[in-house]
Homo-oligomer: A and B are copies of this chain.
Amino acid sequence: MLMQNARTLSATHPAKPLDRWAPEPHGIDISALDTLGVRMSYARNAEIFGEGEPTHYVFKVVAGAARTYKVLDDGRRQISAFYLPGEVFGLEATDTHHCSAESVGRSIFLVIKRTALLSLARTDHQTTHLMWRLTAHELERVQTHMLVLIRSAQERVACFLLEMAERMGTGDVVELPMSRQDIADYLGLTIETISRTLTQLEGNGAIAVPTCRRIVLCDRAALKRLHA
């Protein structure tokens, strides 16, 4: 449930159109959602919703980042996706979440009542189509990610860095919001392998790692070529 995390979050002002600056990363105009929600602040690693819980709210990242994940019986965690500013998560066609979600760092999310969205969709065909497209875009992203999971460690890390650079839109400098453990659980590797691979890539001159959360893509062509 949303409110049981009340101690880890605090409501801010009702949504002002301040987040209009945020990119629309899907190529889908989701600004229609902005007036429906309330901004809330989440602490680092705060639970946003849990797998199997009812889908009362839909979220849009204003600042920071979120991760959705599933946990295996043996405790391993697979991160399905990261969500960066401007992106929507927690939208389900059914009435329960099928992933858990947490805030990666300290983050601000626009929180939208699902009922508000659905009642809008009942009259507005555009909104219905929007929800469908968002889900379809999500599907496409996961399918692409499956391709990454069958590759070598070097390829996975290279793909990850290129994906993040692409989505953050900050050119060749990537400021990672997530830990090595998060990256490992996203790519299906261990933190040691992530670390070793980054060191290798740095040795190749493909990247530079000034601090452990900041990565500079020095040679994108080399990263794309990394199919070995």
Chain A residues within 8 Å of B, Cβ to Cβ? 70, 72-74, 76, 78, 80, 92-94, 98-99, 122, 125, 128-129, 131-133, 135-140, 142-147, 149-151, 188, 227
Contact = CB atoms under 8 A, between A and B. Distances in A.
List the 8 shortest-distance A-B pairs measured between CB atoms, nearest first: A93-B136, A150-B188, A139-B139, A132-B132, A93-B133, A149-B149, A142-B142, A135-B135
Contacts of A188: 149-150
A149 B92 CA distance: 23
B136 A92 contact: yes
A139 B145 CA distance: 12
A227 B73 CA distance: 9
A147 B72 contact: yes
B133 A94 contact: yes
B147 A149 contact: no
Contacts of A150: 76, 78, 149, 188
Q: Which of A73, A76, A93 has the most CB of B within 10 A?
A: A93
Given A70-B147, A122-B125, A98 B140 contact: yes
Contacts of A98: 140, 143
A143 B142 contact: yes
A160 to B, nearest CB: 15
Given A80-B146, A142-B142, A136 B135 contact: yes
Contact of A74 (B128, B132, B137, B227): B227
A135 B136 CA distance: 6
A74 B131 CA distance: 35
A98 B139 CA distance: 10
Contacts of A149: 146, 149-150, 188
A153 B197 CA distance: 24
A35 to B, nearest CB: 22
